[in-house]
Amino acid sequence: MRAALGERARIVTVEQGGHGMCLGNGNARGDRAVSDFLVTGRRPARDTHCPN
pLDDT at 16: 74
pLDDT at 47: 93
pLDDT along the chain (52 residues), means of 10: 89 77 78 91 92 84
3-state secondary structure 10-51: CCEEECCCCCCCCCCCCCHHHHHHHHHHHHHCCCCCCCEEEC
**Looking at this protein, which amino acid is placed at residue 15?**
E
Look up residue 7 and give its DSSP letter. G
